[in-house]
Copies of this chain bind each other. A is one copy, B any other.
Amino acid sequence: MTARLKVGRPVEPGPELTNSAKSATQLDRLIHERLRLGILSALAAEESLTFNDLKKLLGATDGNLSVHARKLEDANYVVCEKGFDGRVPRTEYRITSNGRKALEKYLDHMEVLIRVARESM
């Protein structure tokens, strides 16, 4: 299946090569970042999670988690509700339907990429 490159000739990559490699550069940039992918996967599996739940689950620092959760909020992929648990501040995150759709689309995209990459390896 592998098209061999003739040195000195212009390359004409098969469609499967173009798809797999080019496709990688078109993955949803917002979701692709590892910690954001972790946050979204976690929230997709639960009704809601607090900042501390996420922090513990993902082994993230406060700063890193804040920054990336904020980016997901800005994209309307997650919503965040601030409140109190007795006197302790509590920040609760939920995935939005937008976020769920985007995650599903990302997983579909990645699945195709993996299949095509394996076929041409």
Q: Across the interface, which residues of B come within 8 angstroms of A25, CB to CB?
A: 34-35, 38, 58-60
Tell whether A24 is near chain B: CB-to-CB under 8 Å. Answer: yes
Q: Give Cα A118 to B2, complex, Å.
A: 31
Shortest distance between the CB of A57 and any CB in chain B (Å): 6
Q: Across the interface, which residues of B come within 8 angstroms of A29, CB to CB?
A: 34
Q: Across the interface, which residues of B come within 8 angstroms of A35, CB to CB?
A: 24-25
Q: How many residues of A contact B (CB 8 A)?
A: 54
Shortest distance between the CB of A55 and any CB in chain B (Å): 11
Shortest distance between the CB of A107 and any CB in chain B (Å): 5
Whether A57 and B114, one on each chain, are in contact in the complex, defined by CB atoms closer than 8 angstroms, is no
Interface mask (A90-113 → B, CB under 8 Å = 1, otherwise 0):
001000000010011001001101
